[in-house]
Amino acid sequence: MLNQIKGLHHVTSMAGDAAENNRFFTHKLGLRRVKKTVNFDAPDVYHLYYADELGTPGSVMTYFPFPNIGKGRPGVGEVGTTVFSVPEGTLPFWEKRFTEQDVSGLARDEQFGEKRLSFAGPDGDGFALVEAKGDSRAPWIKGGVGNDEAIRGFHSASLRLRDGGATEELLKFMGYETVDTSGNIKRMALKDGNGADVIDIETLPGASFAGLGAGSVHHIAFAVENRAKQLEVRKALMETGYQVTPVIDRDYFWAIYFRTPGGVLFEIATNEPGFDRDEDTAHLGEALKLPSQHAHLRDYLENNLQPLGD
């Protein structure tokens, strides 16, 4: 069993309109945009990162907004719901805020003894807030939401699968333990992680497979401390039979990817070097930052990428 995984690092999804996506996360959720860059493989598309003040692993929601992309089709083989942690007693605040800001899909319920508010993102993305006990992570408090209510980071993510057995075994290998079951949902958790320590496996045997599009999660990333730990994880996964990519430099972390038995794309990402490697902490997310191989496109991109309307 691996001991290098420290919880979630980031979740990366697809979007349609970049400005609408930016408004939703910075104005409605009150998160900080910590990086404005472009897709490594499609430089005419933004890669936008939203998080806490520093872009701490376990708090980072990222997006590829492709203009004119079709809507995603929910189903199995994907991340179904990305869940954020908020302080106890704050769901009434958030429900009122979301109602006033015309956020759709609002629904209150309770799972695994935790109060929960589900809501939809601008492209129908599946989200929820959970009142988490004792989450001491520091929030971003300059986004219009005060310290007493602000999002602390991720709480969990749910995987929708036809058969969760093989993915459950993979997560156990990655250091997770099965801690509870409720109906068709199995909860797995990591001890001594970064606070974003929970994965729920929702088994839906008769459901159709998901179709990637706006509102879909592209991949989910797990955190390791550094490149040495990442190489240990890569070696162990390959010895177990997984096809893992070489290490890829993503400027703000190093990444490896592999496809899970249920069809979800997993990434293992390093906590180093972080989002302040090319931008002062006080000004994260303000300037357009480009991967070195796309630096020659700066004039074109600055003139053609959609203004975000900060």
Question: pTM for this one?
Answer: 0.97
Amino acid identity, residue 237? L
CB 38 within 8 A of CB 290: yes
End-to-end CA, the chain: 45
pLDDT tens, position by position, 27-49: 999 999 999 999 999 999 999 99
How are beta strands 153-161 and 198-203 bridged, if at all?
Answer: parallel
Nearest alpha-carbon partner for 114 in 50, 200, 52, 193: 200
Give the list of residues 6+ apart from residue 67 with CB closer than 8 angstroms, or none. Answer: 16, 17, 18, 45, 306
Distances (CA, A) of 272 to 192, 199, 254, 277, 283: 19, 23, 8, 9, 19
Radius of gyration of the chain (CA): 18
147: burial class by Cβ within 10 Å (0-12, 13-18, 19+)?
Answer: exposed
Q: List the beta strands (DSSP E) in 132-252.
A: 153-161, 177-182, 185-189, 198-203, 217-224, 248-249
Neighbour tally for 23: CB within 10 Å: 16
Distances (CA, A) of 32 to 60, 68, 128, 176, 227: 10, 25, 18, 29, 26
Please state the φ and ψ torsions of residue 203, each to the nearest 5 degrees: -95, 125
What mean pLDDT comes out for the span 158-166? 97
pLDDT tens, position by position, 233-283: 999 999 999 999 999 999 999 999 999 999 999 999 999 999 999 999 999
Q: Report residue 97 CA to chain centroid gap.
A: 22
Q: What rounded mean pLDDT belongs to the chain?
A: 97
Position 98 confidence tier, pLDDT thresholds 50, 70, 90 = very high
Size of the chain in residues:
310
Which pLDDT value is given to residue 273?
A: 98
Amino acid identity, residue 226? N
Q: In what order do the strands lie in the sheet with 60-65?
A: 32-38, 46-51, 60-65, 8-15, 217-224, 265-273, 253-259, 248-249
Q: List the beta strands (DSSP E) in the chain.
A: 8-15, 32-38, 46-51, 60-65, 78-86, 107-111, 114-120, 126-131, 153-161, 177-182, 185-189, 198-203, 217-224, 248-249, 253-259, 265-273
* Maximal CA-CA distance, the chain: 54
Which pLDDT value is given to residue 126?
A: 98
Asked whether the predicted pLDDT for residue 299 surpasses 80, the reply is yes
Asked whether the predicted pLDDT for residue 310 surpasses 90, the reply is no
Give the list of residues 6+ apart from residue 36 with CB closer than 8 angstroms, or none. Answer: 46, 48, 49, 285, 286, 287, 288, 289, 308
